[in-house]
A and B are shown apart, each in its own frame.
Chain A
Amino acid sequence: MFGYYLDMAIRSLKHNKVLTVLMVLAIGVGIGASMTTLTVMHLLSGDPLPGKSATLFRPLVDPDPTPERTHETPMDVMDYRSAMDLWSAHRADRQTLVVQSPVKVVAAATNVPPLMLMLLSTTTDFFPMFDVPFQYGSGWTADDDERRSRVAVISASLNDKLFGGANSVGRTLHLRNTDVRIIGVLKPWRPSPLFYMVAGGRFAHGDTADFYGKPEDVFVPFSSSLEINDGNFQQFTCWALPKIPGHLIDAPCEWVTVWVQLGDAGKAAAYRRFLADYAAQQKSLGRFTHAENTRLPNLMEWLDYNGVVPSDVHLQTWLAFAFLAICLFNTIGLLLAKFLRRGGEIGVRRALGATRGAIFAQFLMETALVGVLGGVLGWLLTLAGLSLVRRQPTPYADMVHLDVLMFATTFALSIAVSLLAGALPAFRASRVAPALQLKTQ
């Protein structure tokens, strides 16, 4: 029966080519637009560390001592002292500090001109905590953090640029005025978003594309970087002006990000208590005024709170699906026109004994076939749409691609839309009274 319906569907589609092309176009264009935006949405709203994100937390405190300035929520990052206190307490399974700053980089014994790159100041736990993949060498040890070792881990792209992709472990990099030894080279790594740096989303007015930038190119122990790149650090915010710009260790500024890993709910609850106790203790020492203002969101909560997916992308997705709805109505109309024109054929089939269900199934098969064709066109248009997105001046342009899931979704959505569009016309066709049709012939 399936083969017979398929054969009839192909014949029917061939019979009226213009109408078929119009229907395939309508579905294809609608699917292309909505799948392009949906794919971007899927890439931007995914979990950057599946399976692990629930164990990563971001402790937040409110170190601003100004009594009259009460914040509804703590600031997104911390001052140096609070961050160091929490980090060195080692109360979590793993904990790390993260700070970004621009630095001038020259590789010894290469003729690549000096580069201005982003430096990530962090601690030993960063690499295992965030599953950062290594190509050569490894990260540094807690001892290196302690001794302010002049060591660095570099990104795959920097390794390609400076050393042609060769194993550069042991070679020297000149960071501003300091020589550091390369001890590790990462594999290509492109978390989406750059989750460990996400902060300040609530001030971005939905313009959050910058959260999807590339990871930094040079990673250096936090303690060492404070000496190497002193004067180049940027504050998130300050409650009073720093004396020396860029030198923030003793400045009244919030600029250090803290992440902790807590294996289970019990540990998370314990850490929450520890954080509250720490803030209370700092209040009794006179350093904090708003001690009750602490939070411990996990990674996904933090991304949600910052509204990481740019509002432009949301908007485009809404528009594309509204457009798909227009295409759906369009297809319903075209199918109805097509099916009801074939009243005579339906009458003959019914008179020869076909049930209403059989007629319904036959026409639904035809619409499903339109759906498959529309899916192929939609897939091609999605590829074209994504290549357009790749040429847009957005930070996430380079990682836009169609993965297997979205490829399958394209066809699933296309067939679902065509069946939805075909249900009403096929039902109307199956209700055609055979006698009336035969009489008019």
Chain B
Amino acid sequence: MRIILAPLRRHSLMPVLVLLQVALACAILCNVFFLAWQRLQPMLAPSGVDADNLILVDNLAAQGRTYTAAESVAGEDALRAVPGVRAASSGFGLPMVSIASIMVNLQGPTHTAVGVNAFFGKGLVQTLGLQMVTGRDFLPSEYRPWGLGASNGSNSDWDTGVTQPVIITQALADKLFGAAPAVGQLLADPDPADKSDHGYQVVGVVKHLLRNEIGLATDGRADYTVLLARNIGNTAMLSYAVRVDPAMRDIALQGVKNAIKRQFGGANAGGAQARVQTYNEKRNDAFKSSRAALWLLLGMVLAIVIVTLVGIMGLTGFWVQRRTRQIGIRRALGARRAQILCYFFAENLLIVSVGILLGMALAYAGNILLMHYYELPHLPWMYLPVGAAVMLVIGQLGVLAPALRATEVPPVVATRSV
């Protein structure tokens, strides 16, 4: 150890520069990994739906009036009549449809309130192709109308205080009830604006269902979605989910487009703006900016790695060159090549480790700074060892070439110019 520390003390400038570079790079890398993971989580989260066979219709806007429940149902019927369509539901708040999303607060027996996205619509479990884990789907008699008049009138079902059935996801069941069985449990809605004090009763649990506010689908909140037994009517906006036969996907897509045009495309109607897209197209669009951001972060990581690697190589190379004579003396005194190699690796390990320690502190400080300005959660401590490991590898790689050159120094150098 002393043999490593002595030259570091005597010529401290070079190691300090390496150390600072490593510290900064480590701090940035930790935060960049963290930012990238925040963006990546919603993209990796399972959707829970039958993605390949799902078509979504949205942006059907009534102009100056509202669509009635009858029109909403007529649309469903028209879509079901299309060849290749297996199921169709008029829904509000659908997967990847982020124009309108509904936030509901749920409070479980543990008194933790969870903000979730609610999906409304008849038969959504079947139409979206969700996988039931336990419990059951809504019964046809359980559906209540939802829409402008229905939801806010003083004597509407929404406000009667009757417990409403709800289907939740496995992730929510775990969060709200822990190990206890979720089906049959009651949930409160602690929304202060909603004075009706109705609660929810869990009737079923589905495996996954990705929420439609995908920006919030991070840190295990991807599946914070519930289904409510509501059918759609009296709304200015309609949207449909359509599940098609895998063998007839293309024909069905064209058929759905035509059906929407026929049903809603009259003069001056909102059908002219309707968007008919497959789930995968919608998903692709929804993650466009996330993908761009990820490429940027990846470029950032590459640039940092290359610059740091080159920096360590350059500095260590110079430092090795300056100590050619010492190396020669050590070789002359009997040190093997492997020992010289080990010496430089160990020295680098020491410098980089100190740099990493400093870098971790910097990473944390940087994260607090970012949190102060932006809506970011705390940097989880797991990122620190990841950043540290990357820096260690970079350090050892950087020292490889100069250390190999050092092993080539013949012992005879020690005898020269003395």
Contacts and interface: CB of A to CB of B under 8 A. Distances in A.
Contact of A326 (B32, B308, B373): B308
Contacts of A104: 272
Interface stretch (A6-14, A332-340, A346-354): A332-340
A191 interface: no
A116 B63 CA distance: 13
Q: Which of B304, B308, B311 has the most CB of A within 10 A?
A: B311
Contact of A230 (B18, B64, B152, B288): B64
Interface in A66-94: none
A318 B319 CA distance: 32
Interface string A373-396: 000000000000000000011100
A311 B375 contact: yes
B35 A315 contact: yes
Contacts of A231: 63-65
Given A22-B310, A323-B303, A329-B311, A311 B64 contact: no
A433 to B, nearest CB: 15
B20 interface: yes
Interface residues of A, number: 48
Nearest to B288: A393
Interface in A416-441: 428, 440
A257 B224 CA distance: 36
A314 interface: yes
B64 A326 contact: no
A141 B371 CA distance: 50
A323 B26 CA distance: 11
Contacts of B317: 337
Interface stretch (A242-250, A293-301, A364-372): A242-250
Contacts of A337: 314-315, 317-319
Interface in A21-46: 22, 25-26, 29-30, 33
A232 to B, nearest CB: 6
Given A311-B375, A440-B417, A341 B318 contact: yes
A26 B310 CA distance: 9
B25 A312 contact: no
Interface in A179-236: 205-207, 230-232
Nearest to A245: B236
Interface in B31-52: 31-32, 35
A408 interface: no
A316 B296 CA distance: 9
A108 interface: no
B374 A315 contact: yes
A347 to B, nearest CB: 16
Contacts of B148: 241, 245
Nearest to A332: B17
A428 B292 contact: no
B2 to A, nearest CB: 25
Interface centre among A104, A206, A337 (most CB of B within 10 A): A337
A333 B311 CA distance: 7
Most buried by A among B13, B268, B314: B314
B370 to A, nearest CB: 7
B113 interface: no
B406 interface: no
A247 B62 CA distance: 12
Given A29-B303, A332-B17, A393-B292, A246 B311 contact: no
A393 B35 CA distance: 19
A326 B304 contact: yes
Given A315-B35, A330-B311, A116 B24 contact: no
A322 interface: yes
B315 A323 contact: no
Contacts of A246: 63-64, 236
Contact of B370 (A19, A22, A315, A329): A315
Interface in B295-324: 296, 300, 303-304, 307-308, 310-311, 314-315, 317-319, 321-322
A206 B374 contact: yes
Contacts of A341: 318, 321
A327 interface: yes
A269 interface: no
Nearest to A231: B64
A318 B65 CA distance: 48
A326 B21 contact: yes
Interface string B262-291: 000000100011000000000000001100
B412 interface: no
Given A230-B64, A326-B25, A241 B314 contact: no
B23 to A, nearest CB: 9
A244 B375 contact: no
Contact of B64 (A29, A241, A245, A323): A245
B241 interface: no
A312 B35 CA distance: 11
B28 interface: yes
Contacts of A241: 148, 152
A333 B14 contact: yes
Nearest to B63: A231
A333 B64 contact: no
B324 to A, nearest CB: 12
Contacts of A333: 14, 17-18, 21, 311, 314-315, 318
9 contacts: A22-B314, A29-B303, A33-B303, A232-B64, A311-B373, A319-B32, A329-B17, A333-B14, A334-B314
Given A322-B366, A330-B310, 14 more contacts: A30-B307, A205-B375, A231-B64, A245-B64, A245-B65, A314-B374, A315-B370, A318-B369, A319-B300, A322-B27, A323-B300, A329-B24, A333-B14, A336-B13
Interface of A: 19, 22, 25-26, 29-30, 33, 104, 116, 176-177, 205-207, 230-232, 241, 244-247, 311-312, 314-316, 318-319, 322-323, 325-327, 329-330, 332-334, 336-337, 340-341, 392-394, 428, 440
